[in-house]
Amino acid sequence: MTYRIAVLPGDGIGPEVTREAVRVLEAVGAAAGIRFEFAEAPVGGAAVDATGDPFPPETEQLCMAADAILLGAVGGPRWDREPVPRRPESGLLRLRKAVGAYANLRPVRVHPALAGRGPLRPEVVGGGVDILIVRELTGGLYYGERGVQQEPFGERAYDTMVYTTPEIERIVRMAFQLARGRRRRVISVDKSNVLETSRLWRRVTEAVAEDFPDVELEHMLVDNAAMQLVRNPQRFDVLVTENTFGDILSDLGAALAGSLGLLPSASLGLPGRPPLFEPVHGSAPDIAGRGIANPLGAIASAAMMLRHAFGLQREAQAVEEAIDDLLAAGPWTPDIAPPGAPVASTEDVGRAIARRVRERLAPGP
Ligand code: NAD
Ligand code: IPM
Ligand code: MN
């Protein structure tokens, strides 16, 4: 059996972290006797530069023929003034839509070794924060009608947020199902005191909850949710929300974990379409090209690929345990290095994970 992986490194630190994720997958393959076939294609700004299109047809074909997609990050100041069809982010949105990846799983865990190293006190983030953010990914503001017009007084711009019952139902149902494998608590985050889409979201969520009497449901307004995540993150198990709120709250989750460079994601969706795996962070123009980006979010995304796309539980666990070991013992990239500790490069970390994975998966004596 060969697993075909489309690799889309993208821009900025995208190629730097993706290289390390591929290194780790190669180590898994070699140690566990699994064949991974990697094929690379441009996306985002890199694709704009090469073809004028941030999601060219050749990239789409490669993705559609793959069993899973690994993406780095897209975007950067160079392309920020491009018209919408040539913006790197447009390419990512088209990719997500093309593969029907409506369910974006963004786990946020606080490793004990990092509790207190981020901006929050250890007593807030210690004690095992373990949140699964389930973000709707192919609807809402990102895909609504938008435009900008000239008016006598200046310009008028608009974006629209649209959700339908089926779109809400499938993502909420997935959140409840995932909660059954965890602590059986779902917090649904919305803005139903203002938004019509949120009121529909709440009605549909209530209806879905009837099929899951064993799972506890709580509704929370998004402004309060942002505050509760910082104040009492232990309270959250599965957090399900619409596209924009999920984008914002997951970066907030990164501050709990200690670095945006740590968070992975899996985007699952329509049957028969390849799932997409990408770190939560962006192209980080401020550190790109220096070899110091944290590759653990990309590597953990590769672990999610092993589990969710290929059902390779043992191998996924080996990668995740290697990450846990490394967070405790180093080497660390500058974003998570303890004060006074030597800092490692992106490649040092990738190699250290690959070595640990080989040890864990090597056949016993
Ligand atoms: P960003 O996520 O790129 O960076 C935010 C901050 O986190 C920066 O200080 C950066 O240095 C740091 N950071 C991010 N990843 C890191 C890593 N792996 N290791 C260490 N530090 C890391 O967000 P931004 O600066 O707001 O956006 C930059 C560009 O990335 C924009 O063009 C944006 O559209 C794009 N973006 C893309 C994605 C994606 O491809 N999925 C996600 C977010 C942002
Ligand atoms: C993310 C990013 C993207 C998003 C951008 C680059 C379109 O911020 O993956 O979180 O908003 O979904
Ligand atoms: Mn984001």
Q: Are residues 223 and 333 in the same domain?
A: no
Q: What is the pLDDT of residue 363?
A: 74
**Residue ranges in the chain assigned as alpha helix (H):** 14-32, 45-51, 57-64, 88-98, 122-125, 165-180, 196-209, 222-231, 243-257, 296-304, 313-329, 346-361
Structure tokens at 154: 């200046």
Same domain? 364 vs 274: yes
Q: What is the pLDDT of residue 246?
A: 98
Using the mean position of ligand 2's atoms as its centre, give its distance from the Cα of residue 174 in Å. Answer: 21
Same domain for 141 and 59, yes or no, is: no
pLDDT digit string, tens, across residues 184-202:
999 999 999 999 999 999 9
Q: Six-digit token pair at 107?
A: 């786990």
The answer on pLDDT for 101 being more than 70 is: yes
- Given 233, 257, 281, which residue is the final one in a domain? 257
Verify that 71 and 37 share a domain, yes or no: yes
Q: What is the pLDDT of residue 365?
A: 65
pLDDT for position 127? 77
Last residue of some domain: 257, 277, 311?
A: 257
227 and 248 assigned to the same domain: yes
pLDDT the model gives residue 118:
80
122 has pLDDT over 90: no
- Mean per-residue pLDDT over the chain, rounded: 97
Number of domains in the chain: 2
**Same domain assignment for residues 316 and 237:** no
Q: Helix, strand or coil for residue 211? A: coil
309 and 297 in one domain? yes
134 near 101, Cβ under 8 Å? no
Do residue 265 and residue 364 come from a single domain?
A: yes
The answer, yes or no, to whether any atom of ligand 1 lies below 6 A from the CB of 300, is no
Q: Is 93 in the pocket of ligand 1 (CB under 6 A)?
A: no
Same domain, 334 and 283: yes
Both 265 and 357 in a single domain? yes
Give pLDDT, residue 267: 98
Check whether 170 has a pLDDT greater than 80: yes
Domain that holds residue 18: 1-106+261-365
* pLDDT (tens digit per residue) in 322-353: 999 999 999 999 999 999 999 999 999 999 99
96 and 220 assigned to the same domain: no
Strands of the sheet with 276-277, listed across from one edge: 35-40, 2-10, 68-73, 276-277, 266-268, 103-109, 130-136, 238-241, 185-190, 216-221
In this structure, what CATH number is given to the domain that contains residue 229? 3.40.718.10
- Catalytic residue numbers? 142, 191, 223, 247, 251
Q: Which of 205, 229, 257 corresponds to the end of one domain? A: 257
- Pairwise CA distance, residues 199 & 54, whole Å: 35
Residue 42 and residue 151 share a domain: no
pLDDT at 38 over 80: yes
For residue range 285-326, what is the model confidence (pLDDT) as tens digits? 999 999 999 999 999 999 999 999 999 999 999 999 999 999
For residue 100, the model assigns a pLDDT of 98
Pocket test for ligand 2, best of 43, 84, 89, 241 (most atoms within 8 A of CB): 89
